Amino acid sequence: GWRRNLRFRSGGGGLISTAHDYHRFARMLLRGGELDGVRLLKAETVAAMHANHLPGAGDLAHHSSSMFSEADYAGIGFGLGFATDLTTGEYFWGGVFSTFFFIDPREKIIGLLMTQHLPSNVYPIRRQLRDAVRGTIVTPFG
């Protein structure tokens, strides 16, 4: 499959990565665009990527409807490629087969979920991962 010549190109559809590389990507974002001493993106660019850009600083509940995600869109903004939790500042994104990552910049936490579960809206595994990680924090920053 993934090497065939497709007529329709779908942005992030069909991307392939390893957990190690995905974690490196997330570390670069958490560090404001720097990874292993190399500046890959400006800090301002990374900040714009996870800032809410929805009209009127609104949330996704007012601007869209959930099609294949278990996410509750209330209180969730959207930046340049990431959903943003307007309360916690976490930013995240998931794939149609339930893959998921989130970054909590206050706690300096990265969460990765590499799975192949379809449809992703039936079982709230992404929310359970975030809640489980939050539940382990004894003394929160900030």
Q: What is the pLDDT of residue 8?
A: 59
Q: Is residue 70 part of a domain?
A: yes
Q: Is residue 30 part of a domain?
A: yes
Domain count of the chain? 1
Q: What is the pLDDT of residue 61?
A: 81
Q: Is residue 6 part of a domain?
A: no
Q: Is residue 116 part of a domain?
A: yes
Blockwise average pLDDT, block size 10, the chain, 142 residues:
60 74 96 97 96 90 63 83 91 84 93 82 79 84 68
Q: Is residue 7 part of a domain?
A: no
Q: What is the pLDDT of residue 30?
A: 97
d(CA 114, CA 50) in angstroms, rounded, equals 21
DSSP alpha helix (H) spans, the chain: 19-30, 43-50, 60-63, 125-135
The length of the chain is 142
Domain carrying residue 25:
19-135
pTM of the model: 0.78
The two three-digit tokens of residue 41, written as one number: 């993106």
Q: What is the pLDDT of residue 138?
A: 81
CA torsion angle for 29, 34, 36, 39 (degrees, to 10)? Answer: 140
Q: What is the CATH number of the domain that holds 31?
A: 3.40.710.10
